[in-house]
Amino acid sequence: MLLAIANSFWMPDLDAVVAIGPLWGLAGTIVAIVLAALVLGRSAAVSSVITIIGATLTAWICFTHAPRVAQSAWAGLAPAGGSPMLLVDNFAILFILLICLFLACVTGLWMIGASTNARESAAHLRNGPEFFVLLVGSAFGMALMVSTTNLLMIILAIEMASLPSYAIVGFQKRNRIAAEASLKYVLFGAVTSALMAYGISLLYGFYGTLDVNEIGRLVSTELAATDTPAAAKALISVALFGLMAGIGFKISAVPFHFWCPDVFEGASIEVTTWLSVASKAAGLGLLLRIIAAVLQPLAETFDNPLSTTVAMFAAVTCTVGNLAAFPQTSVKRLLAYSSIAHAGYMLMAGAIIWQAKPGSDVANPAFAALIVYIIVYLFMNLGAFGCTALVYWATGSEKIEAFRGLGRRSPLIAAAMTVCLFSLVGLPPFGGFIAKFYLLMALFKSNLVWLVAVALLNSIFSLYFYSRIAYAMYFADDGKPAFSVPAFGRALVIAAAIVILLTGIPIAGGLIGRANQFASHLYPIAARTTFAEPQAAAAKDPIPLAARSAP
């Protein structure tokens, strides 16, 4: 009896289980942290070391999987005859690799804070195992986000990434600002999650499938048909808006960005650093997958009106982020608005996602541009937030005034901060210039000249508020004494600055070349068909259009 019941359930084969090895690596890290706390006691040091080891091993698994994935040897984890629930392609492998490496760096930053900041070290050390279970849990959710085009898995992945993030933002329970930020984060996340679940339920109820690629084919067919009722088109638009609301919340795109400044200001510096990069990277990766699967056929049908829509959202997001950063006096809050602006820049890649041609060996310019930008942005934010953390731990303040005279008081930290700030602007010869130039060239080749102009104007605007910090470091010395910083913290930010310099000119060509490799062999793109095939798929649909749209 039990054997018959077991046989009725689908189970993946060994190759499929091995193929999702990076996900097993993160899950195993969570289990190891819990077991270590049970066996060795509640040791924050042990938990942090296990996290670094687990993140490093998972990154190594990604390296070992990369050659096989590049040959398109395995497409996805799916029941027999069903649509893939998980994808393993170049894009997913690269993003999981970046998430794991960034996780190790953030853990190192946490260790510096625990040993340096006496006011917070007690809470750090007392609740270390819980913190790292939540941190790695959010990383696991973000890894799922970039590895799926299944509606059910999208909900699970976003919630898996969001729920631990709510907790780590308010992890310092006695900190009123952190508790308030966590509450705002929870409330805003609950609203956008409800919108997303509603939109996904409409899509599933309307089309009877969880596969985003199949939904994209059916949507393009119905919106192109002349006999499609207006109510059906409105329902599709509402459903897609709900789906995008949940993802827009993760990347803090306007108008879903209101949580970001308060959360970044209230959370501890290592949590702010983590959310500023990892959360946005995962959200943008998922967003580009959905746009490629759902909206590309619509662009082929309607002469790219959705390209303009996505471009306008990107333009508004980067403009609002940059303008709101002007009056800020807190560096953490300023960098929060900066992250909103950069989310807008990266969202511009969604406006050219349909430039890809069907075929597994074609590099998608949007995915390639996003890969370059994310890699450079990782080091820019790691360096900027790392320097901010070192100044805060030394002075007790994160205001711009705390950076006065930093060029004299701690020259290496000031130099690293300057490199990161000017790279965030996009000035040569830093890596930020290469990342932004590569993205803008892709937009220019796609005839989105107005969007290129918006990005350039916003870069000029951003030069002002980034320069305010640089001016304070070198031209507003208040005579305060020099201070020392932890050696590991100094090494971390200097290493980030060196990478930014190297990606600016010396290895820019290699970085772009690798990005093109990782932007090819993408499952959703490889699975794309010509526009004639969606019509054939719709013809096989057992539920007539009139029956689905009728009240």
Q: What is the predicted pLDDT for the residue at 280?
A: 87
Q: What is the predicted pLDDT for the residue at 510?
A: 83
- The rounded mean pLDDT for the chain is 81
Residue 8, pLDDT > 50, answer yes
Looking at mean pLDDT, say which of 72-81, 361-370, 528-537 comes out highest: 361-370
Q: What is the predicted pLDDT for the residue at 217?
A: 80
Please give, one letter per residue, the 3-state secondary structure of 341-403. Answer: HHHHHHHHHHHHHHHCCCCCCCCCHHHHHHHHHHHHHHHHHHHHHHHHHHHHHHHCCCEHHHH
Six-digit token pair at 44? 């924050």
Among the listed ranges 381-390, 412-421, 452-461, 507-516, which one has the minimum average pLDDT value? 507-516
3-class DSSP state for residue 544?
coil
Residue 5, pLDDT > 70, answer no
How far apart (Å, rounded) are the C-alpha atoms in residues 277 and 409?
29
Residue 299, pLDDT > 80, answer no
pLDDT higher at 484 or 19: 484
Amino acid at 27: A
As a whole number, mean pLDDT of residues 113-121 equals 64
Name 539's Cβ contacts closer than 8 Å, sequence gap at least 6.
Answer: none
- pLDDT tens for each residue of 40-49: 888 888 999 9
How far apart (Å, rounded) are the C-alpha atoms in residues 74 and 265?
43
pLDDT category at 358 given cuts 50, 70, 90 is: very low
Six-digit token pair at 318? 């980067």
Residue 546, pLDDT > 60, answer no
Six-digit token pair at 289? 């997958």
Q: What is the predicted pLDDT for the residue at 49?
A: 92
How far apart (Å, rounded) are the C-alpha atoms in residues 190 and 86?
25
238-205-199 Cα angle (round to 5) = 30
Between the CA of residue 467 and those of 113, 277, 311, 417, 546, what are the distances in Å?
A: 27, 22, 28, 11, 59
Six-digit token pair at 455? 């990005």
pLDDT category at 480 given cuts 50, 70, 90 is: confident
3-class DSSP state for residue 419?
helix
Q: What is the predicted pLDDT for the residue at 88?
A: 79
* Range list of H helices, 252-364: 259-266, 269-274, 280-290, 296-302, 305-325, 331-347
As a whole number, mean pLDDT of residues 480-489 equals 83
Residue 174, pLDDT > 80, answer no
Q: Is 12 left (phi over 0), alpha (psi -120 to 50) or beta?
A: beta
As a whole number, mean pLDDT of residues 391-417 equals 90
**Helical axes 128-145 vs 21-40, angle rounded to 10°:** 170
Among the listed ranges 305-309, 464-468, 484-488, which one has the minimum average pLDDT value? 305-309
As a whole number, mean pLDDT of residues 107-111 equals 88
How far apart (Å, rounded) are the C-alpha atoms in residues 540 and 551?
22
pLDDT category at 536 given cuts 50, 70, 90 is: very low
Of residues 294, 318, 320, 296, the one with CA closest to residue 307: 296
- pLDDT tens for each residue of 235-282: 887 888 888 888 888 888 888 888 888 888 888 888 899 998 888 888
Please report where in the chains the tokens 């004494």 appear, as a residue: 481
Residue 10, pLDDT > 60, answer no
Looking at mean pLDDT, say which of 127-131, 141-145, 507-511 comes out highest: 141-145
Q: What is the predicted pLDDT for the residue at 537?
A: 39
How far apart (Å, rounded) are the C-alpha atoms in residues 95 and 28?
19
CB atoms within 10 A of CB 330: 17
- pLDDT tens for each residue of 25-75: 999 999 999 999 898 888 888 999 999 999 999 999 888 877 776 555 455
Query: Do the Cβ atoms of 175 and 119 come closer than 8 Å?
Result: no
Q: What is the predicted pLDDT for the residue at 359?
A: 43
Q: What is the predicted pLDDT for the residue at 268?
A: 86
pTM: 0.86
pLDDT category at 226 given cuts 50, 70, 90 is: low
Q: Which residues on neighbouring strands pair with residue 150, listed in sequence order?
A: 211
Six-digit token pair at 400? 């711009």
Name 388's Cβ contacts closer than 8 Å, sequence gap at least 6.
Answer: 269, 331, 332, 335, 398, 417
pLDDT category at 218 given cuts 50, 70, 90 is: confident
pLDDT higher at 298 or 158: 158
Query: Do the Cβ atoms of 92 and 146 come closer than 8 Å?
Result: yes
Looking at mean pLDDT, say which of 12-16, 72-76, 78-82 comes out highest: 12-16
pLDDT higher at 402 or 82: 402
Q: What is the predicted pLDDT for the residue at 344?
A: 92
Q: Is 215 left (phi over 0), alpha (psi -120 to 50) or beta?
A: alpha
Six-digit token pair at 130? 């819980």
Domain locations along the chain:
304-520
pLDDT category at 120 given cuts 50, 70, 90 is: low
Six-digit token pair at 439? 């993205």
Q: What is the predicted pLDDT for the residue at 422?
A: 94
Query: Do the Cβ atoms of 236 and 222 come closer than 8 Å?
Result: yes
As a whole number, mean pLDDT of residues 177-191 equals 88
pLDDT category at 335 given cuts 50, 70, 90 is: very high
pLDDT higher at 403 or 42: 403
